[in-house]
Amino acid sequence: MKKLAASLHDAVADIPDSAQIMIGGFGGSGAPIELIHALIDRFRATGSPKNVTVINNNAGNGATGIAAMIKAGMVGKMICSFPRSSNAEAFNTKYLAGEIELELVPQGTLAERIRAAGAGIPAFYTPTSYGTDLAIGKPTEEFDGKMYVRERSLTADFALIKAHKGDHVGNLTYRMAARNFNPLMAMAAAKTIAQVAELDVPGTIEPEQVITPGIFVDTVVSVPNPKQEEELVREGAEY
Amino acid sequence: MSDFNVMEDKLANAQIAWRAAQDLSDGSYVNLGIGFPEMIAKFQPVGRDVTYHTENGVLGFGKAPDVGQEDWDLINAGKRAVTLKAGASFFHHADSFSMVRGGHLDLAVLGAYQVAQNGDLANWSVGAKGVPAVGGAMDLVHGAKNVAVVTDHVTKKGEPKLLDACTLPLTGIGCVTRVYTSLAVIDIVDGQFVLREKLAQISLDQLQSVTGATLHIDGTVGDLIVPEDI
């Protein structure tokens, strides 16, 4: 197995311009801050990757993580359900200036679109958003007397995710509510890069405790004592 | 003519939340929307066992930890720190929304800009300006077995929030089953508002005058009685 990256720099080295990137996390919990910052470092040093599409529940908070990506000018589009936060200035400024595109997706539909992609399901039906502005232009169908909207699966070129424990074959566990979108995105992206707070040798994580099996993970990078976005926001940190 | 002042004599949000809490069923699984609806948990009647779900992937969470004791990997959908009760569980977002969309939640309580007599809800967008955000509201309204709303009966300008048809962008069609307002408790049955309780001080005529669709009566209308000291 050659899944282990020597550094954060190496882990994100292959992400090209215009890539569609899933980034795990819900608010600050489960956000892979170090991977995001490594990508920003690359963009600042080389001008690439530019014009990327980011898929996340939110659209950044404060001035680190996704907010810092947006502020750096490397994000052309956000696909998310709730681009509001305690400090969403980075996204709001670009959005209101027409400098960033937004695809707004109901939260459960966002999760299911990602799950479907990981499971090889191209489309599915849900009652969510039926009859609302977010269903405009989407096919509908009646099943058992109830109306449903057809939604397409959502894939990505890369997923950046944050796990708690990981091993050299890519098995992952998560910490508390930091799990959120991370296991789904690991399944859905063509290439999944996971930062792990604790890197174990294979066999250390009990098979029964594995939440994301290694088949869904391409690259593992060790990041002991990772930053927590909520704490960074409270400290007023900027990246 | 009643001397009841709708803007001044109405219930406070905490009192509306208290009234909604009285209907929490023992053994139920409940999702409370961010903000005002979250207050309901504070008034959960003693002796009733209610398990709270939050969209980001926790079942069985409790109150906020003491300041300084927060673990920011343990939050609710409002991004606030919470604690765990015995029997709590974590799960990913697709499982979380399977609980919602698969009809496993007994009750979701949401806030509202407008509710229509057929159960249409508008609570996510006030129109074109600003940055739109939807979150899990559109999922909750179609997934939970019962969808209740807690709201002021009228807007800050005194205009009705309960209408024959919503004018703001919809969150869902025909989804609300019960509305707890600052003046009344109203069920939605077969496309009509059915008045169950109202404040004793307000006359039926005055209540109707601040409601944007006909209030129907089916049997007795009870007095809406809540503690004054909350």
∠ Cα B195 B14 B80 (to 5°): 125
CB pair distance less than 8 Å for A104 and B133: yes
- C-alpha A183/C-alpha B111 separation (Å) is 31
CB pair distance less than 8 Å for B75 and A106: no
- Residue B170 contacts A where some CB pair is shorter than 8 Å: yes
**Which amino acid makes up residue A183?**
P
- How many C-beta atoms lie closer than 10 Å to residue A236's C-beta? 10
Looking at the predicted structure, is the pLDDT value of residue A133 above 90? yes
- The shortest CB-CB distance from A230 to any of B72, B93, B171 is to B72
Q: pLDDT confidence of A85, banded at 50, 70, 90?
A: confident
Distances (CA, A) of A35 to A9, A158, A161: 8, 12, 8
Residues of chain A positioned with their CB less than 8 A from the CB of B137: 106
- A126 three-class SS: strand
Considering only CA atoms, which of A220, A237, A219 is closest in space to residue A229?
Answer: A237
ipTM over 0.90: yes
Q: pLDDT confidence of A86, banded at 50, 70, 90?
A: confident
- C-alpha B40/C-alpha A42 separation (Å) is 47
CB pair distance less than 8 Å for A108 and B97: yes
Q: Which residue has the higher pLDDT, A104 or A86?
A: A104
Considering only CA atoms, which of A231, A229, A227 is closest in space to residue A67?
Answer: A229
- How many C-beta atoms lie closer than 10 Å to residue A9's C-beta? 14
**Chain A interface, best mutation among B31, B54, B56, by max A CB count within 10 A:** B56
Tally the C-alpha atoms within 13 A of residue A138's C-alpha that lie toward its C-beta: 23
CB pair distance less than 8 Å for A29 and B97: no
- Give the model's pLDDT for residue A203: 84
What pTM was estimated for this model as a whole? 0.96
Looking at the predicted structure, is the pLDDT value of residue B139 above 80? yes
Across A222-229, average pLDDT: 96
B105 and B113 in contact (C-beta within 8 Å)?
no
- C-alpha B143/C-alpha B107 separation (Å) is 9
- How many C-beta atoms lie closer than 10 Å to residue A6's C-beta? 9
A91 and A157 in contact (C-beta within 8 Å)?
no
Share of chain A above pLDDT 70, in %: 100
